[in-house]
């Protein structure tokens, strides 16, 4: 599992490198794009240029969150099977999903996440 997580992190890093290149290009295009007055109440856009630079960083954040959520679920499932636990992560209540995963792994499965984070994020 650790090797698969590492592989996903490396892939995400490579993807982000490409997105940062795209962000540089898009930001440069934004600076030279013509200013246009458009009717915002029109049914269809009249713009000749639509910028994308403002979408790149939020997309990156969603990718990080999605990767973390996916692997936290997998780690919870693994810990449940490994330790033969009666409850699953979905049985634990938290303020949000990440809090529930944290509570499951630390309080119920007994993991020290400080150690896990240190080992996997070298």
Q: Is residue 44 part of a domain?
A: no
Q: Which residue range(s) make up the domain with 108? A: 2-35+49-120
CA-CA-CA-CA dihedral for 16, 21, 22, 28, to nearest 10: 140
Residue at 113 is within a domain: yes
DSSP label at residue 96: S
User: Is the model's pLDDT at 120 over the cut of 60?
Assistant: no
pLDDT at 46: 65
> Measured between alpha carbons, how far is 25 from 80 in angstroms, rounded to an integer?
46
Mean predicted confidence (pLDDT) in 42-63: 82
Tokens for 17? 């490198």
Number of domain units in the chain: 1
The answer to whether residue 22 is domain-embedded is yes
Q: List, for residues 55-71, the tens digit of each pLDDT value.
A: 999 999 999 999 999 99
């Amino acid at each position: 599992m650790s090797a698969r997580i590492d592989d996903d992190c490396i892939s995400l890093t490579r993807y982000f490198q490409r997105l940062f290149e795209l962000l540089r290009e898009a930001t440069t295009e934004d600076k030279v794009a013509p200013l246009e007055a458009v009717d915002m109440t029109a049914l269809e856009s009249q713009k000749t240029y639509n910028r994308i630079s403002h979408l790149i960083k939020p997309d990156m954040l969603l990718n990080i969150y999605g990767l973390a959520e996916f692997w936290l679920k997998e780690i919870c499932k693994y810990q449940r099977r490994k330790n033969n636990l009666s409850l699953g992560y979905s049985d634990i209540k938290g303020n949000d999903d990440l809090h529930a995963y944290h509570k499951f792994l630390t309080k119920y499965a007994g993991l020290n996440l400080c150690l896990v984070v240190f080992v996997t994020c070298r």
